[in-house]
Amino acid sequence: MKVYEKYYEKAKAYLIKFDNITEPHIVDIVTSVLMTRDGVGYPGGSFVTAVVENDLYGAISRADATCVRYLPAIVSAKMWA
């Protein structure tokens, strides 16, 4: 299994467990958060970087509407997934 696929499956499983979240965009974002957190692959964009660096203002100001809606799940995945 490729590294991205491993992280994608981990993100997907966490989000389903967290609150039955299956939104593909959020699975991709959480995958990027986990990979950025672990220093694997390419670093995430400005939203993902803000999440990983615990920059709440930066994360909210860079988030699209879907990410704002799921921000608690995205942030908690950084710590618990």
Helix or strand holding residue 72 (H, E): helix 71-80
Is residue 26 a contact partner of residue 69, using CB atoms and an 8 Å limit?
A: no
Quote the CA–CA distance of 59 and 45 in Å, as a whole number.
Answer: 11
Return averaged pLDDT per consecutive 10 residues of the chain, 81 residues in all: 94 97 97 97 95 97 97 97 91
Q: What angle do CA 13, 58, 35 make, to 5 degrees?
A: 35
Look at residue 6 in the predicted model and tell me its pLDDT.
Answer: 97
Look at residue 33 in the predicted model and tell me its pLDDT.
Answer: 98
